[in-house]
């Protein structure tokens, strides 16, 4: 294979700190760069490539759809929207769906639903309860709901109307609800992704459902990163046996095709009416076909059970390999959404893992994040650990900065 030079990015806005690699193509859970190196994909495009790369059933379906219709507009009836919405409501137990293009857009729509829900009840200054460690997007509204001062810096004034409390602290939630009569919704990630793979405890989710029912608040669960089978159930909150009122989705729903969705339960399903919200690209035929095929393949190939089982293998291999390492704070997460928190910055592992033939992420400065495709095999899970563990050990063997 001839090595291609890396393209110049002189005319690309420098909004990303990119690694020195350009990917050429992929197959399954493996990708190749333009230099011909084969790399194991432990990141899945940040929880996007549910079915891996070049899936033998997804690709022909998308090719067929491209030859029919890519985009029309929401002026017209959309049978594919109806089909995907029906499936999402079936697997979630909720009522209806708004389609958009990304997790940010899904979260924006959720925030609008929360405000409109309040206004419809005579609350002219609705507030939303959010949590420390949260990440909901980079638009001005979702940035305001997010809890990262670094990404908020330089973009003030932020949107008002957010009350923030610690995650998994029900006493803090109840105190905030009592102190803020204008609260209209509680908004959180079922498992915080960018914040460091921080799971919301089952009993906390159940308590939030109770509080929302008692106070007529919307429970809005951001499942953009942790949803669509990643934890071993269709949606991470299902481990707690509850249903949200509003559930933003994106990332893995389209296996690489941009898609977002807001799935609403009965209390929120009628909040937005004609003219209240909209999108040009959202719900286009290509994205809808990608969503339909993704969910169908996941169901027929048993990928929820695979995520749970292979995730357990991966977590076990990491725990065994890192046993006794004092610098490992915690290995946490669920299914194929795992984080390894270290006692020091871990950014150097990005390039080191690349050199070792592995794609990973580091988030919250010290957390190694793994979000591989849901088609990952047990052998590939063990291979991720085999490549990653020595790098972590070598980093921890150095003096702590």
Query: Binding site residues, as ranges?
Result: 135, 138, 222-225, 279-280
Cα 269 to Cα 324: distance, rounded to the nearest angstrom: 50
Binding-site residue set for N(2)-acetyl-L-ornithine: 138, 279
Whether residue 320 lies in the annotated active site: no
For residue 31, the Cα-to-chain-centroid distance in whole angstroms is 21
Binding-site residue set for pyridoxal 5'-phosphate: 135, 222-225, 280
Are 245 and 89 spatial neighbours (Cβ–Cβ below 8 Å)? no
Q: Which of 98, 99, 117, 135 is catalytic?
A: 135
Whether residue 222 lies in the annotated active site: yes
Q: Which of 33, 41, 187, 222 is catalytic?
A: 222
Strands, DSSP E only, in 76-142? 96-100, 127-131
Provide the 3-class DSSP secondary structure of residue 392.
helix
DSSP state of 8: P
Q: Which of 41, 131, 245, 251 is catalytic?
A: 251
CA distances (Å), origin 200, targets 93, 206, 208, 222, 235: 21, 10, 11, 12, 13
CA distances (Å), origin 145, targets 5, 31, 106, 165, 275: 41, 35, 13, 12, 25
Cα 372 to Cα 273: distance, rounded to the nearest angstrom: 38
Q: At what angle do helices 303-321 and 285-300 cross, to 10 degrees?
A: 70
| Residue numbers annotated as active site | 135, 222, 251
């Amino acid at each position: 294979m001839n090595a291609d030079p890396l393209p110049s990015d002189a005319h690309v806005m420098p909004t990303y700190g990119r690694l020195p690699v350009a990917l050429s193509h992929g197959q399954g859970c493996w990708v190749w760069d333009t230099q011909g190196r084969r790399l194991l994909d432990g990141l899945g495009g940040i929880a996007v490539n549910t079915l891996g790369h070049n899936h033998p059933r997804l690709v022909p379906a998308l090719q067929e759809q491209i030859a029919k219709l890519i985009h029309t507009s929401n002026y017209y009836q959309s049978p594919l929207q109806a089909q995907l919405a029906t499936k999402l409501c079936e697997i979630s137990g909720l009522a209806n769906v708004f389609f958009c293009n990304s997790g940010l857009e899904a979260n924006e729509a959720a925030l609008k639903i929360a405000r409109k829900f309040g206004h419809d009840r005579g609350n002219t200054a609705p507030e939303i309860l959010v949590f420390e460690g949260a990440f909901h997007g980079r638009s001005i509204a979702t940035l305001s709901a997010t809890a990262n001062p670094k990404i908020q810096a330089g973009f003030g004034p932020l949107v008002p109307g957010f009350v923030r409390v610690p995650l998994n602290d029900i006493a803090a939630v109840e105190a905030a609800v009592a102190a803020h009569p204008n609260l209209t919704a509680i908004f959180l990630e079922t498992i915080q992704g960018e914040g460091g793979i921080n799971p919301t405890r089952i009993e906390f989710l159940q308590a939030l459902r109770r509080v929302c029912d008692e106070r007529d608040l919307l429970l809005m669960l951001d499942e953009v990163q942790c949803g669509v089978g990643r934890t071993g159930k269709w949606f991470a909150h299902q481990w707690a046996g509850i249903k949200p009122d509003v559930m933003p989705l994106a990332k893995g729903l389209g296996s690489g095709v941009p898609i977002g969705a807001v799935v609403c339960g009965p209390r929120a399903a009628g909040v937005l009416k004609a003219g209240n919200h909209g999108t040009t690209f959202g719900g286009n035929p290509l994205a809808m076909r990608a969503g339909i095929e993704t969910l169908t393949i996941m169901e027929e190939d048993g990928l929820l059970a695979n995520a749970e089982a292979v995730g357990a293998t991966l977590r076990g291999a990491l725990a065994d390999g890192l046993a006794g390492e004092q610098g490992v704070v915690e290995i946490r997460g669920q299914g194929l959404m795992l984080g390894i928190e270290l006692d020091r910055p871990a950014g150097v592992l990005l390039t080191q893992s690349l050199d070792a033939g592995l794609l990973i992420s580091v988030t919250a400065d010290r957390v190694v994040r793994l979000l591989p495709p849901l088609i990952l095999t047990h052998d590939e899970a063990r291979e991720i650990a085999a490549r990653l563990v020595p790098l972590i050990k070598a980093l921890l063997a150095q003096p702590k900065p």
